[in-house]
Structure formats: structure tokens, C-alpha cells
Amino acid sequence: MNYLPYDNFYIDTPLKPEQVQYKLKKEVAPRRTSFSIFGNSKSNFYFKGIVKKDRFAFQPDITGLASFNPQIKGSISVYRNGSRVFIKMALNPWFSVCMCIALILLLAAELAIVISKTNKEKFGLPDLPLLLMLACIYLFATLAYKFESSATKTRLVGLLNGRLTDVK
């Protein structure tokens, strides 16, 4: 079971694969590496990343909740009278690792409290705030990701003039 938020879906579009690639390239800016543009996201592109012949990897070029911007990877293939774009969206891997470490540390602290209370030792920390912190971190990360990914999905479906199909 996967506890971290992610999305897998297809966009079926009447566009040919070359047209899909062209439209994605128009919306995706190359990754920037210069430190002089740190914090400057005034770009005409909605995404930053790479688009190759039949594969792509990018993320929205949005500041603010940048940790929750979905990392988008996918492929383009011929499908019926057009093309099918497979897309996998997930949280930033570094943010996922940090979130998992925080949740594991809080869970370990909670277990230590429960074990100390079962041994009848006088340990004064209440366990409810730690459980609330666990729930809040997880809910905040999940809801922020869902908010950012839904806007990105809508943008991609509109860009490709397609229809969304969930992977079963």
C-alpha cells in the first residue's frame, strides 16, 4: 500500500505524437542552473524540465508551495486516431524523504511514550499532541499536493485537447 500521494493517468488526445511533443516543448522551459535567477520565476513557461522525442520529465514553475509541486514524468505513444500520453505525478523525492523522516521520528516518540506508560513510569509528555502532529503533517502534505496536482492535470488536459483516463 502506498501512503505517499501520487497519480497515474492517461490523456487521450486527437493530436499526433509530434504535435503533442511540440505543444509540450512550447510550455516547458529548460531547467535553469544559474544562481543569479534564484527566486525569479517570471517566465512565459508554465513548466520547467525536459521534453524528448517520446518521453518527458518536468514540474510546474510555480513558487510558494514549491515542495508540493508534482514531479511529472511520462511518455507519448500512438493511440487510435491520435496519441496517448501516460503521466505519473508524484511528490518531490527530497520532500518525500524529509516527510517520511519526520513522521518516523514522531511515531518513534509516540511509541516511546506508550511503552513508558505501560511500564508505569512517570513520563509527563501527553501523547495526543504527537498524534495530532503526525496527522497534521500527513494531511497538509497530501492536501497541498492534491491542490497543486489538480491544477496541473487541468492545465495538461487543456493543453493537449484531450480526455483524462485513470489507470486501473
Residue 42 included in any domain: yes
Q: Give the residue from 151, 146, 156 showing the smallest Cα distance to 51.
A: 156
Is the pLDDT at 5 greater than 70? The verdict is yes
90 Cβ partners below 8 Å, 6+ apart?
4, 5, 6, 7, 70, 71, 96
SS3 content of the chain, % helix, strand, coil (to 5): 45, 25, 30
pLDDT of residue 140: 87
pLDDT of residue 127: 62
**Contact (CB, 8 A) for 144 and 65:** yes
Sign of CA dihedral 106, 94, 60, 57: negative
Do 88 and 109 fall within a single domain? Answer: no
- Residue that wins the pLDDT comparison between 107 and 33: 107
**Contact (CB, 8 A) for 48 and 61:** yes
Do 111 and 88 fall within a single domain? Answer: no
Is the pLDDT at 37 greater than 60? The verdict is no
Residue 58 included in any domain: yes
> 106: domain range?
95-133
pLDDT in tens, 45-104: 788 889 998 999 998 887 665 667 889 999 999 998 899 999 999 988 888 888 888 888
